Amino acid sequence: MSTLIVVDDPQQWPFEIPSVEVVPARAYLTSERFASSRGMKVFNLCRSYRYQTAGYYVSLLAEARGHRPLPSVTTIQDLRSRGMARLISADLEDLIQKTLSPLQSEKFALSIYFGRNMAKRYDRLSLQLFNLIPAPLLRAHFVRDGQTWRLRSVAAIAANEIPQGHRAFLVDVAKSYFEGRRASVRRTNARFDLAILHNPQEVHPPSNEKALAKFIKAGQKVGFETELILASDFGRLAEFDALFIRETTNVNHHTYRFAQRAAREGLVVIDDPQSIVRCSNKVYLAELLSRHKVPMPKTCVVHRGNIEIVAAEIGFPCVLKKPDSAFSLGVVKVEGPEELAEQLDRFLADSDLVVAQAFVPTTFDWRIGVLDSVPLYACRYYMARKHWQIVDRDGQGGTRYGKVETLPVESAPRKAVRVALQATEPIGDGLYGVDVKQSGNEFYVIEVNDNPNIDAGYEDVVLRDELYDRIMRVFMARVERRKAGVYRK
């Protein structure tokens, strides 16, 4: 992929960086060479991004041409938003106070060059600001309000505004930034770029290392240049065509911000932000599935004003779920009234609403994987030995899991697959893992999980590499439709 630096006048960028071409904005906007080229990364360093200026049109036409502009039009709009500084201040409140508290002045200007600052002590704050406002050259202005520092404004700056004493540093960080982008060699058949967000430090990731390697291989097979990215790569999202989140998601988490940003930048994203919101809150799911008449164990939403309905309508034993519970955390089985009062008091201290559900004893749960409204895999997740859940935690950090048995989808009970598809229909067409309990001939949806586990040696036992290929083919089809301007309703 070619890399361009676009400026109003190339003399404003009198620095030479290997493999990076510097072109005037007028040439980029009018030359047939750039209009017909594909797969370019465009670093827009024009003097102004104001509406209908050359700088604005560079990013706008770059997106229309299928190029990757930095900043994107979305970022340019963010820079113009009067409320952006306030939102950033709230998001980075602790980091801003910790970083700037040693300063004695009343004002402070922070120059950010490709996410870096000349003083290392400001590097973390610089990177976080670049991640939230991904523009190559930024200046953030802070003011002290009593003992508290506040971000007053953040703006993009032009290359000719860089102080002379900063220019050598700018060249160094720009070289480092561009070299980092070329860390992996593009395959000749790669048509688009796919980012896979993961966290190597996560204890229970949704995909193990072997599975991630298989996703990369499958992506290359269909024409993706695939790169594993981390939370620190937030500012790079505009460089990609698609995002696959393989880190445990939560609304109050950077994974949700990644999904939001990717969707705003026009990337194809799984999990999309809507699916994260709908699946990660058990109260929302209970209401949604009930409204769509999806079969569930008897369920009610509990608050401090209706606690008595649990015993009256659900009975014992029953299961209490915190709205944002995951991996069996925040889920307890209650045997009687005293334990119910104790657990509800604990749960309602954190959330105004809690889900109570009838306990359905089974030796395993069906997990039906669904993508694009089509069943993808079927597993039996067995309960951990002598425990009522798939995961048994000993309270000291230790965990025991029940075994996993993967079957061909056609070998799973048709009713299990049918209710799984019924459950995902009102949520979306993303990648979901639907947990279904079987009681005799009846099947009940327990929950719908976005970001379900796909681990090598478990969910892929039946389809093997074809499982990863199918997922990548869906990604590619969606990217192709997006690039062609075809959007599903």
The alpha carbon of 167 is separated from its chain's Cα centroid by a whole number of angstroms, namely 35
Burial 44-71 (b: 16+ CB within 10 A, else e): bbbbebeeeebbbbbbbbbbebebbbbb
Strand partners, 24: 7
The alpha carbon of 13 is separated from its chain's Cα centroid by a whole number of angstroms, namely 35
> Over pLDDT 70: what percentage of the chain?
94
Query: Across all residues in the chain, what is the average pLDDT?
Result: 89
Answer yes or no: is pLDDT of 414 > 60: yes
Domain with residues 298-359, CATH architecture: 2-Layer Sandwich (3.30)
Write out pLDDT tens, residues 279-329: 988 899 999 999 999 999 999 999 999 999 999 999 999 999 988 866 556
Answer yes or no: is pLDDT of 192 > 60: yes
What are the E-state strand segments in 274-362?
Answer: 299-302, 318-326, 329-334, 354-358
- Confirm if 251 and 281 have CB atoms less than 8 A apart: yes
Write out pLDDT tens, residues 75-109: 898 888 878 888 888 889 999 999 999 999 999 99
Total-model pTM: 0.77
Strongest mean pLDDT among 47-51, 160-164, 192-196, 483-487:
192-196
- Confirm if 32 and 43 have CB atoms less than 8 A apart: no
Answer yes or no: is pLDDT of 336 > 50: yes
| 376 vs 388, residue with greater confidence | 376
CATH of 190-271, one of 2.40.50.100, 3.30.70.2740, 3.40.228.10, 3.40.50.20: 3.40.50.20
Strand partners, 356: 300, 320
Q: Are strands 354-358 and 318-326 parallel, antiparallel or unpaired?
A: antiparallel
CATH topology of domain 2-77: Oxidized Rhodanese; domain 1 (3.40.250)
CATH (residue range 82-180): 3.30.470
Answer yes or no: is pLDDT of 383 > 50: yes
User: How many angstroms separate the CA atoms of 138 and 157, rounded?
Assistant: 6
- Confirm if 264 and 256 have CB atoms less than 8 A apart: no
From 107, 108, 114, select the one nearest 159 (Cα to Cα).
114
Name the least confident of 129-138, 275-284, 382-391, 394-403. 394-403
Q: How confident is the model at residue 74 (pLDDT cuts 50, 70, 90)?
A: confident
> Distance from first CA to last CA of the chain, Å, rounded?
32
Write out pLDDT tens, residues 245-257: 999 998 888 999 8
User: How many angstroms separate the CA atoms of 310 and 379, rounded?
Assistant: 31
Q: Rg of the Cα trace of the chain?
A: 26
Q: What are the start-end ranges of the H helices in 299-355?
A: 308-309, 337-348
Domain residue ranges in the chain: 2-77, 82-180, 190-271, 298-359
Report the pLDDT averaged over residues 449-456: 95
Q: How many CA atoms lie within 13 A of 325 on its CB side?
A: 21
Q: What is the pLDDT of residue 386?
A: 80
- Confirm if 245 and 197 have CB atoms less than 8 A apart: yes
Q: What is the pLDDT of residue 66?
A: 81
Q: What is the pLDDT of residue 186?
A: 47
